[in-house]
Structure formats: structure tokens, C-alpha cells
A and B are shown apart, each in its own frame.
Chain A
Amino acid sequence: MELYEQTASVLSEMLRRRECSAQELLISVQERIGEMEPRIGAYLTFSGDAMQQARAVDEARARGESLHPLAGIPIAVKDNISTKGLRTTCASRMLEDYIPPYDATVIQKLKAAGMVILGKTNMDEFAMGSSTETSYFHPTCNPHRIGYSAGGSSGGSAAAVAAGETILALGSDTGGSVRQPAAFCGIAGLKPTYGSVSRYGLVAYASSFDQIGPMGRSVKDIAMLCSLISGHDPMDATSVKREFPDLAPALRPEISGMRIGIPKELFNNSISDEIRDCVMNALRQLESMGAVLKEISLPLTKYAVNTYYILACAEASSNLARFDGVRYGYRAQGCQSLAELYERTRSEGFGEEVKRRILLGTFVLSAGYYETYYQKARAVQRRIRQEYAESFRDCDLIAAPSAPCSAFRLGESSSPAERYRTDLCTVPANLAGLPAISIPCGVTGTGLPAGLQLIGTWFAEQQLLNAAHAYERQTGGFPAPVKGGAV
């Protein structure tokens, strides 16, 4: 087995026992990148100093320094997370040449732990999309089947993990952007409870939903990375002040007696038969291991996509107002006035999907429509949150598909509204701020992975990961990286 095929938890032990060095591991992953990247297109930028980072870890270990368990483990970072001195584009022409002058809090934590940052991964432009096709640069292919999407918006991160082009990755999840690509690529991805992970340095899309999350090939890997990046940060006013336990050492394959709610609204005919079968088989497996399945109803689920798009676009229209061509980013040439500079810079710098969402957000906040759209959606959001709180009185976890279908074919034509509807399984957890994980649960007839989503109550990451770990153990672990022969 090649080093790039191993999980972070196994590699952590191998590094500790000096069975391999961080530099050897990095070489293995970089060779794999050389082999796969021309077909996958997971990355936008590579770090110039990855080998130096790895060497520093090896030298520290040689000196007998006490190291973080993730020291020396390669990681890929979604390109909307600011990395000092390393280009951060948000996959947009607007930020094509932007070099952040500071590190996001999560990046400071990765560096402090000695993780090796490989580079920045492709995504939908400003995280607006679900297939990486809105990237200004190129789409990312699904390693399981070239010609199909890796999902989005964290499609580059998911594909890199699935193809063995990294060991771990960071994504961000505003409406499912960690969980859906994780499902499409057959890996694990967690959206932590809102407020667990600092958003400082994450380029904002919809601030009240955005949350950075870990992606990997085992639940333990996810647990290790989640604990590393969680914690209160005074630089983010929505960061929660509480203790965040170390999840990985407490990871137990515990499922017996756990009450799992199955909301009928997320198993109806909006879900493809194949995906429903995969998810139901996984749930029956959990039942055979002692979980108690309960059918529940979350009636407001039918309004979740509508609510999400009104609120997310409203926030986006405000957040993206900062891109004006003055202080950083793209600037239109030959403008005679400041007003012309703003307008032309934004029109030339943003892609179509970003413009569409800014326009939608501007519309729902405009005079005469604010009450009909934005205010109403805020009320529905609070009610959805309450509906989940009530459900967690009778359930420990809620299960659903991670996406209603398997990966889209690249270039598949669908209207924006049709594409938005495919977010129905993931947006409720964002609206309610709940933690949710996607784990692989089989493949469809076309050979594309299906994802099981488990949603926990606020800050119940440990319970969520324990259940996911129980399933992982029972099924013999999640798939290793896709072999070279992706078709």
C-alpha cells in the first residue's frame, strides 16, 4: 500500500514510530498529484514551500520535540480560506491574483500543528454552486468517473481526497458544500455546529451559515481535524465560547440504543430510488447493530430550500459589495468615474451565478419586497430551528440522504431553480446551525457513490462521529483512494 492511500490516523502512527518521514509522505502524495491531476483538476494553486514544511516537521521530530498527531500530514485547503502569501482566488476572476496578507484562524491552527499545506483547491465561484462548474478556471472531475462532477462547492477538496491527491482537506459548508461533494466523491465530510470553527479569514458568502469543515477518508481522520480547527476565536463574533473536547481519543463505535429519526420529507419522491435504497440499506445495517429507527416528520423541510436561497443570497449581496476594484482584486480598465469603476469591475469580475445571487439578494432586500421575502424567510428559519430542537427530544440523531441523486454529469443542463432544489437534503442543517456528517454508503448502478447524512443536535459532534464510526467499522471502512483507472 502506497503512503498516499493511508488514512491520517494510520500515517500519524507511522510518522511517530518513524516508519516513514513527512518528506517521504509528501513525495508520495505529490507523485500521486502528478499522476491524477491532469484528469481531475482538483487544485488551483500549489504551495511552493510544502517540502520545507515537511522537512521542518521531520527535523522537529528528530530533535525529540513533542508534536501534534497531525504534524507532517498533508492537507489541501479550499480556495476561499485565506493563506498568507499563497494566492486565494475563490475560483473567481475577481480574485485571480489576490495574495492574502494574513492567515485565516484555521490556517494558523494547521500551521501550528505542523500540517503540510499542499495547495488550494478548486470550488464553485465564491462557493456559489454545487458542481464546481461555476469556477472561473475549470471544473473538477469526479475521480470515480471522469465526465461527472465532483460536486460542490468544495468539489476540489473532495476530489483531491478521493483521488489520493491529499490525505485530508478543508472545505466550507454554507448550504451543503462539504457534505454534497463528500457524498459525490465517496469520502467523509463534516459540517460542524455553527460557531464551532472560526470564520476569520474565510471569504464570506452567507456569514450566518458559512462553516469550515473537515474532509477525509475515515471518521477518525475527520475527528482529529475537527478538534484541531474548533475553538473560540475573538476575531469571529459568532464563534462560541465553550470547551471543545478532543474528539478522536473519545471515538467509540457506539450505536446500540441510539434513536435515529427518519424524516419522511427527506425520503419522498424527490430522492432518486437508487439513493434511497443505498441510504435505507445503511440504516437497516445500523438497526441490526442496535440502533432504533423512528419515522419522524419535519413538515417545514419543504420550505428549506426557498428559505435558504432568500437568506443566503441576501447575505451574499451584502458581503460581496466589498469587491469594488479599489483596494484589491480585479479592476476594470479605462474607467472615467468611480461609479463606472464599481459597476464595470463587478460586471467583468464576477461570473454569471455570482451575479444572479447578488441580484436575487438585492431584490429580496429592496423596498417593497423585504417583508414578503427576507423577513418571512427569517421567521421560517427560526421555526425550522425549533422543529429540529423538538425532534431531538425523541431522537439522538436524524438520518437523511446527503444529496437526492448521485454526481451530476458535467455540462448537464438544468435551470438554476432546478439545481437549487437539489440542495434540499443539506440546507436544513445550515438553517438550524446543526452539525451534520456525510459518509459513503454504497454505489449506484453507474458506479457513483451515495452518501448517508447524519445530523446531530447542537455540539453533539462526538455522538455523530461515534455513530458514523460504528457504521464505518461494520462495513469494513470507507473506500481507499480511487485507483489510477478512473473512467
Chain B
Amino acid sequence: MKIDIQHIAKLAGLRIEEDQQPRFIRDMEEILAMAGDLPDTAELTAPEPDPMVLREDVVTADPLERDLLLQNAPEVLAGCVVVPKTVQQ
């Protein structure tokens, strides 16, 4: 099992510095060698447990206030969360 750490990190929204890559690769290969040891699923038939019961999709008055929620935001302007510019010129 060979891990393309840069590809996986990209998918995961992570950046793994070059000097750390060999260690991450080694650990992940060791873990996957262990975890990949599973019996053939063709021999394994078992029912799915009961499905979740979802509540009615009804809009209710949310007690969470905008100001309270924004208190945790790293950067706020005029009641909105600020992020770097997303539109390319």
C-alpha cells in the first residue's frame, strides 16, 4: 500500500509540510496494513440495524441570537463573517 499523502491531504483540506510527510506516510501505511486485515464481505451477511427516526422538518423559533453566534467568529463586519476575497478579478 503506497499512500499519496499530498493527494489525500488536499482532499482533507490539510497541508502536511514536506519534512513531516515521511512520518505521516510511514504511520498511515502501518495503520492501513493493520486495519485492512478484514474478512471477505461476501461471507458476511447481516441486516442493517434500525434506521434513524428523523423529527418533523418544522421551522421553530431558534433561541440562538445572531450576536451571540457572531461572538465566536474570528472576524466580523456589519453583522457578517468576513473571509478573504473569493471572486477572482
Give A contacts to B, CB under 8 Å: 97-99, 101-102, 234, 237-238, 241, 300, 303, 305-307, 309-310, 317, 321, 324-331, 335-338, 340-344, 346-347, 350, 355-356, 358-363, 366, 372-373, 375-377, 379-380, 382-383, 385-386, 415-417, 420-421, 433
Centre residue among B37, B41, B64, B85 by max chain A CB count within 10 A: B41
Is B78's beta carbon under 8 Å from chain A?
Answer: no
Chain A interface secondary structure, helix, strand, loop or mixed?
A: helix
A303 pairs with B75, CB closer than 8 A: no
CA–CA, A355 and B5, complex, Å = 12
Q: Determine whether B68 belongs to the interface, using a CB cutoff of 8 Å to chain A.
A: yes
Minimum CB–CB distance for B14 against chain A, Å: 5
A360-B31 in contact (CB<8A): yes
Docked complex Cα distance between A433 and B49 (Å): 10
In the complex, chain B residues whose CB is within 8 Å of the CB of A347: 14-16
Closest to A372 in B: B36
A303 touching B38, Cβ below 8 Å: yes
Main SS class of interface, B: loop
**Residue in chain A with minimal CB distance to B71:** A99
Q: Are B12 and A373 in contact (CB under 8 A)?
A: no
At the interface, yes or no: B53 with Cβ under 8 Å from chain A? yes
Task: State the interface size on chain B (CB cutoff 8 A).
Answer: 48
Instruction: Say yes or no: is B86 at the interface (Cβ < 8 Å to chain A).
Output: yes
> Is the beta-carbon distance between B34 and A417 smaller than 8 angstroms?
yes
How far apart are the CA atoms of A309 and B46 in the complex, in Å?
20
Establish whether residues A303 and B39, one from each chain, have CB atoms under 8 Å apart when the complex forms: yes
Contacts of B77 in A (CB 8 A): none
Does B81 lie within 8 Å of A326, measured CB to CB?
A: yes
Please, what's the 1-or-0 string for B31-53, where 1 marks a CB less than 8 Å from any CB in chain A?
11111111101001011110011
How near does chain A come to B41, taking the closest CB pair, in angstroms?
Answer: 4
Q: B68 — which chain A residues lie within 8 A by C-beta?
A: 101
Contact residues in A for B13 (Cβ distance below 8 Å): 321, 324, 342-343, 346
CA distance A317 to B75 in the complex (A): 26
Any A CB within 8 A of the CB of B72: yes
